[in-house]
Structure 1
Amino acid sequence: MSGEEKNYSSAVKEQTFKNNHHDHKQKVEAMIKNINTIYLEVKKMKELSQILLCDLNLHFGQPKKMKDPKEAETSHLFEDPEIPDGALASAQRNGNRRPLEQVKLSN
């Protein structure tokens, strides 16, 4: 092999290495972006599940007030309970969704 062929061969190898390095860097950056997206989605799901848990606690945590004790004994457990909170009532009218801006969560 002549000196010129060796130089060409090493230049091709160097260029291939640079291309592979660039491709690898792009793939790693794309993976980091995907992980960040997944993290944000999981964080949003956590917030929504906390809101749902709060709503369920408010909805089912307060016993139904009845004037007649006999009525309490004969009432069915599976009746539609009254919604105690006005915000929950409006949330039900809006398809059980409340904008996240209205709810402040602590971490």
Structure 2
Amino acid sequence: MDLLDWHRGRLSSRRLSVLLKHLPRDSNTVRALHGESAEWTLTDHLLAAAVDHLAVANWMFLSVNRDEDGEAPERPQPVPRPGEDVEDEAEAVTERAQTTPEELRQFFR
């Protein structure tokens, strides 16, 4: 398909619009418009969320069941998402979960 056909009148604007809307994710045009996030599908985002939730659940389990004199486990870092700064996401996760390990231990007693 030659884009000059649009200027020549052999390709309608509607057809050109349909072609552009349905470009594959790995096309240069989609990458230029959406950046790295174009490579992530809904499945990829859901998988990353599932991994993050599982890591937090394991961290909470370890925090509650650890020896009181032992060192508290380190909070897990979220899976980096495209287009997001890793430090900003870590701060956002920390702000969302303001429960301390001590509060968790008290809750589950």
TM bucket normalised to smaller: 0.3 to 0.5
Larger Rg, first or second structure (1 or 2) = 1
Question: Structure 2-normalised TM-score?
Answer: 0.36
Question: Structure 1-normalised TM-score?
Answer: 0.37
